[in-house]
A and B are shown apart, each in its own frame.
Chain A
Amino acid sequence: MDRRQFFKKTVKYGAVTTAAIVTSNFNSLLASPSKNPDLVAVKGGTAVQMFKKGIAAFGGMKEFVKKGQTVVVKPNIGWDVEPEGAANTNPGLVAEIIKHCLAAGAKKVYVFDHTCDNWKLCYKNSGIRSAVKKAGGIIVPGSNSSDYRKVRVPGGKKIKTQRVHRLIIDSDVFINVPVLKSHGSSRLTIGMKNLMGIVWERWPWHTKGLDECIAEFAAYRKPELTIVDAYRVLMKNGPRGTSNPSDVKELKYQVLSQDIVSADAAAAKIFGVSPSSIEHIKLAHGKKLGNMNLNEIKIKRISI
């Protein structure tokens, strides 16, 4: 290579690199959070289709997951019920989220839940274990007390400290993937209620006042993204259902938001109730942990 060639090449590649940097900066400016919607609601496709459209409206998973980061995805796998029972998060959706995280450069994507029924059976029969493995995620048991570490809950009155799964504490990105369903105790279970599955000693919440505890604990760690699966919805007899098909309705919705309270409010509306009628949503809103007034936030609605 002579000097001339050297200069030529340098200029050529330099120009390309500069252009690339400029363009990428430009792109990231375009997709900066301020320009993003506060909440994306999708309607009418399969859970996977709706997620693809929904995450694209935020500028893709790379907005939330950076290269080399560890991600923990927390679906609801509470019950030994098959996917049609709608007691657990849609396994296809969980798998798709994992794929997007890995494509965005995530180093590792973990999935776990502190289940209600026997964890092995829940993982297996919900279809989530096999979906996670196929998608390249790591499925981790949530049943071992030694995996939970004590943390402080900011502003907690009823629950000041709580033992939380180490993956939530240690992972860079936390994606909360609840399923919308009716609930015998908290009337509805959505995003904030799903956080009970990252806690070890959660039963006392029921006697301390479940709704207050759910709202207080929402202050512990804000998920980077909450994706509410409302494709199949358990309209009654939740959270477990009676294995009776008439309990379940295919509403075919999905809600994505960085604000867990907004996500819960929108999901409550989809279920057909006012967000303020759900005690823990109202309390969390009152604590300024998020906004349940959907007319005050920027919503992007997508129909498929």
Chain B
Amino acid sequence: MHKLKKARIIISSAVFILFVFVFLGAGIKIQAFYETLTFFQLLPSFLKFIFTGFSLAGAGFILIMALTFFFGRVYCSTLCPLGTLMDIFIYLKYRFAKRKFFKPQKNHRWFRYPFAGAVFLFFIFGSMFLLNVHEPYANFGRVMGGLAKPLFESANNLLYRGFSALDLYIIKPVEIHLPEPAIIIHSLIFLVFLFTVSLLKGRFYCNTLCPAGAVLGLISRVSVFRIQIKKGSCNSCGLCSSVCKAGCIDCSTAAVDTERCVGCFNCLDTCRNSNIFYGPVKKEKEYDEKRRGAVSMLVSAGAALGALLLPAKVFAQKQEIKKELPVIPPGSKSLDHFNSSCIGCHLCVSACPTKVLQPTMFGHGLKGILQPVMDYSKSYCLYDCVECSDVCPTGAILPILPDEKKRVQIGKVSLIKENCYGWVDLVSCNICDEYCPTKAVKSRPHPEKRNIFVPYIDPDKCIGCGACENVCPASPKAIYVDGVTVHGEAKSPGGGRQRNRGGRGRRRRSERPAEKSAAPASKSAMPAQESSAPPSAAEEEFPF
């Protein structure tokens, strides 16, 4: 095996395994780990660059483009997890299929670049529709999160049952929430499509549909290092071409189409005469022509797609008209921001410990296809948790501190008394009050029946965590949270300074009132001297 190929396999396997790990919800809680991992994803990084105000945190795409300029599209065979998934399918073909070779393919430029241009134009005009459906990293995330994760979790729970019977609790049971059927079907169709295409046509997807592949393809046309065939000494045997999964080697003319070459290096050690090699290119005249072709193609693609401006605007949904708005996680600022920056990779869905973040197909309309929502029928958002904002690769959910999160109003509570067990059936249910972390829902005596406690709401205190809606036993729900277009700030839940927790594990020790330093008995014997203490305890040491 050629050493470049070996390096490619090692790097791609490592990246792939890490991505599988995080998308299965491995529970790594290190923000820097996610940041590093997704830093080198072309389109997420590009989006992050834009949505974090051109910060260095999103500069990964520049490095990738530079890498491509020098070495060709090695990104597609190492850092792209979807590319590696295809390579795994292709490996299976090499291993088990009868026909183990690939045929040279045409370069479908007429489709590829206009299509990529359309994706870009849709994005510029505010619709994530095409991007989210075709972005490779997001597609990988959905296959893992939507298909592999539920299977993985079911296996985990079976293992838990086995081990717990032996009184061992090394395996932690998990609650499984299947994503909505449309998501499963979408991921399944994509996976079947990818599998079939990979077996028949190798990296066809990368060279026709993938927007990242198109961008890098354009750059690799002029890359410094590339696969080349020594002309003259080639006898057109076709060995190199038969292992080329991109189908970019035409052995009849001994030409390699670098635009489509994904840098897998499979061809390097196939040639019996060592006529195929990877190295810097010598300048020749034809490249100017190529470059000119590329420019003209971009211009024409842009012009042809001007017509698509109209539908793009049609797709851009107007939030004011909608009565019910989707709720998006703290840190995502506003629906406008979120809808125009989330590519639907569902990494946040995998990271969410309560699984309140759920993928949806059309939860945000066509414009925000595949973007997740806070699904309060599944779970609710924990008061201290900011994990989704730690992992988001595109800046759709911007980093937020736990203390900030406790005041961010992502939605507002509404109470429908007609549906409520307390208000209608006069039972003191009040489970909404129980779960409410800010007391935006509070139980107080019924205005007439004073011995029955019923919920009252204060939407200004509501942060929109959705716990009340999630636990409400009424059907249809008596209490629910509606989204807001722009995240606001909720009123403080009550008198007194908020405990400054500074997030999990980030708290200073001095803030922790240690039990050891408890006051001696003489002092502590009368807690009731403070104003709001129970009156009976004030009278004696033991109130009974």
B436-450 contacts to A, CB under 8 A, are: 436-439, 442-443
Contact of B541 among A47, A82, A116, A301 (CB under 8 A): A301
Contacts of A118 in B (CB 8 A): 353-354, 382
Contacts of A146 in B (CB 8 A): 157, 161
The answer, yes or no, to whether B76 is at the interface (CB within 8 Å) is no
Q: Chain A interface: which of B211-219, B269-277, B315-323, B498-506?
A: B498-506
Contact status of A210 and B429, CB under 8 A, knowing A242-B439, A243-B501: yes
Alpha-carbon gap, A68 to B507, bound state (A): 42
**Are the CB atoms of B515 and A92 closer together than 8 Å?**
yes
**Are the CB atoms of A184 and B513 closer together than 8 Å?**
no
**Are the CB atoms of B533 and A144 closer together than 8 Å?**
no
Shortest C-beta distance, A238 to chain B (Å), equals 8
The answer, yes or no, to whether A147 is at the interface (CB within 8 Å) is yes
Contact of B516 among A46, A271, A294 (CB under 8 A): A46
**Are the CB atoms of A144 and B473 closer together than 8 Å?**
no
Shortest C-beta distance, A104 to chain B (Å), equals 20
Q: Which residue of A lies closest to B455 (CB)?
A: A184
**Are the CB atoms of A237 and B527 closer together than 8 Å?**
no
How many chain A residues sit at the interface, stated as a range, is 35 or more
**Are the CB atoms of A243 and B499 closer together than 8 Å?**
yes
**Are the CB atoms of B428 and A211 closer together than 8 Å?**
yes
Q: Chain B interface: which of A4-12, A55-63, A201-209?
A: A201-209
* A interface footprint on B160-200 (CB within 8 Å = 1, 0 otherwise): 11001001010011010000000000000000000000000
Alpha-carbon gap, A22 to B539, bound state (A): 46
Contacts of B425 in A (CB 8 A): 207
The answer, yes or no, to whether A20 is at the interface (CB within 8 Å) is no
**Are the CB atoms of B496 and A41 closer together than 8 Å?**
no
Q: Which residue of B lies closest to A116 (CB)?
A: B435
Contacts of A246 in B (CB 8 A): 494-496
Q: Which residue of A lies closest to B175 (CB)?
A: A143
Q: Chain B interface: which of A27-35, A133-141, A148-156, A220-228?
A: A133-141
**Are the CB atoms of B428 and A272 closer together than 8 Å?**
no
Contact of A185 among B160, B354, B434, B521 (CB under 8 A): B434
Contacts of B167 in A (CB 8 A): 108, 138
Shortest C-beta distance, A304 to chain B (Å), equals 5
The answer, yes or no, to whether B282 is at the interface (CB within 8 Å) is no
Majority SS of interface residues in chain B? loop
**Are the CB atoms of B429 and A244 closer together than 8 Å?**
no
Contact status of A242 and B521, CB under 8 A, knowing A41-B544, A237-B439: no
**Are the CB atoms of B434 and A183 closer together than 8 Å?**
yes
**Are the CB atoms of B494 and A244 closer together than 8 Å?**
yes
B520-537 contacts to A, CB under 8 A, are: 521, 524-525, 527-528, 530, 532-537
**Are the CB atoms of B521 and A45 closer together than 8 Å?**
yes
Q: Which residue of A lies closest to B434 (CB)?
A: A184
Contact status of A273 and B521, CB under 8 A, knowing A139-B169, A242-B493, A246-B495: no
The answer, yes or no, to whether A125 is at the interface (CB within 8 Å) is yes
Shortest C-beta distance, A29 to chain B (Å), equals 29
Contacts of B304 in A (CB 8 A): none
Alpha-carbon gap, A147 to B544, bound state (A): 40
Shortest C-beta distance, B423 to chain A (Å), equals 13
Q: Which residue of B lies closest to A274 (CB)?
A: B536
The answer, yes or no, to whether A84 is at the interface (CB within 8 Å) is yes
- Ranked 3 nearest A-B pairs via Cβ: A272-B534, A184-B433, A246-B496
7 inter-chain pairs at a CB distance below 8 angstroms, sorted by A residue, are A121-B353, A138-B167, A144-B161, A206-B421, A240-B436, A242-B437, A243-B498
Residues of A at the B interface (CB closer than 8 Å) are 41, 43-47, 80, 82, 84, 90, 92, 108, 116-118, 120-121, 125, 138-141, 143-144, 146-147, 183-187, 203-204, 206-211, 231, 235, 237, 239-240, 242-247, 249-252, 265-266, 269-273, 294, 299, 301, 303-304
Given pairs A207-B425, A243-B498, 13 additional interface contacts (CB within 8 A): A138-B169, A139-B169, A184-B433, A185-B430, A207-B421, A242-B439, A243-B501, A250-B524, A265-B544, A269-B536, A269-B543, A272-B528, A272-B543
Residues of B at the A interface (CB closer than 8 Å) are 157, 160-161, 164, 167, 169, 172-173, 175, 353-354, 382-385, 406, 421, 425, 427-431, 433-439, 442-443, 453, 471, 473-474, 493-499, 501, 504, 512-513, 515-516, 518, 521, 524-525, 527-528, 530, 532-537, 541-544
